[in-house]
Chains A and B, each alone.
Chain A
Amino acid sequence: DAKTTQPPSMDCAEGRAANLPCNHSTISGNEYVYWYRQIHSQGPQYIIHGLKNNETNEMASLIITEDRKSSTLILPHATLRDTAVYYCIVRVALLISNFGNEKLTFGTGTRLTIIP
């Protein structure tokens, strides 16, 4: 799986949009970008994933550059409960034949702090 680079920490004011960047310059054509977050002492929570088109769900939006070498996770109206470590992961989509490719490689992520 391609390696990702994220800033170690970011602050964002409550109510503003939080924009979390991720670089994945060695991404392959069949690799997706996944975002998870982990609130302190809890299990990681899936947020969103995408291949090349921008994606939006009830939690966030994912913007992937045209060359796919970087992406940005957007939390449109950050709340205090969004304070967490955010992980950007790049991996191939699982197929029936990918039995040996189950691993999610979590780096150290970005620690996002929402400021009241």
Chain B
Amino acid sequence: DGGITQSPKYLFRKEGQNVTLSCEQNLNHDAMYWYRQDPGQGLRLIYYSQIVNDFQKGDIAEGYSVSREKKESFPLTVTSAQKNPTAFYLCASRGDGYNEQFFGPGTRLTVL
């Protein structure tokens, strides 16, 4: 089945530790995105990538980093510099020539 996978579904980390969230898609989509969602709020864009080896900051990139070494993969690292990392993180992708984004199931990160 084609789709977007994110792992793990739930993630816990201690304050001060970096953590990497996985996002993989087998839809052959060029564009990929990372969003953050806080309780009762909409989505905010962290980073996006139009093509392999290229990515752009979104609205709230501080404290996060990404890489796009392969078309299928767009991992997000939440660094210790992110002041309030506890949130629901969503990855999405979009096919070239299409406007709708397709979302993964999300990773809920809790910092203890």
Q: Mark A25-49, 1 if CB is under 8 A from B, else 0.
A: 0000000101000000111111001
Please give the distance in Å from A87's CB to the nearest CB on chain B. Answer: 7
- Closest A residue to B88 using CB positions: A41
Contacts of A109 in B (CB 8 A): 42
Cα-based distance from A46 to B94 in the complex (angstroms):
11
Cα-based distance from A108 to B37 in the complex (angstroms):
11
- Closest B residue to A111 using CB positions: B40
Contacts of B101 in A (CB 8 A): 46, 104
Do A46 and B104 touch across chains, with their CB atoms under 8 A apart? no
Cα-based distance from A108 to B106 in the complex (angstroms):
18
Interface size class of B (residues with CB under 8 A): 20 to 34
- Among B91, B99, B101, the one with the most A-chain Cβ atoms within 10 Å of its Cβ is B99
Residue contacts A-B, CB under 8 angstroms, 8 given: A41-B106, A41-B108, A43-B106, A44-B43, A87-B42, A99-B50, A99-B56, A104-B43
Instruction: List the 7 closest A-B pairs by CB distance, nearest first.
Output: A43-B103, A106-B42, A46-B100, A106-B43, A103-B45, A102-B48, A44-B103
Q: Besides A41-B108, A43-B103, 11 other CB < 8 A contacts?
A: A32-B99, A34-B100, A43-B4, A43-B90, A43-B104, A46-B100, A46-B101, A46-B102, A87-B42, A102-B33, A103-B59
Instruction: Tell me the A residues contacting B by CB distance below 8 Å.
Output: 32, 34, 41-46, 49, 87, 93-94, 99-100, 102-109
Instruction: Tell me the B residues contacting A by CB distance below 8 Å.
Output: 4, 31, 33, 40-43, 45, 48, 50, 56, 58-59, 88, 90-92, 94, 99-106, 108
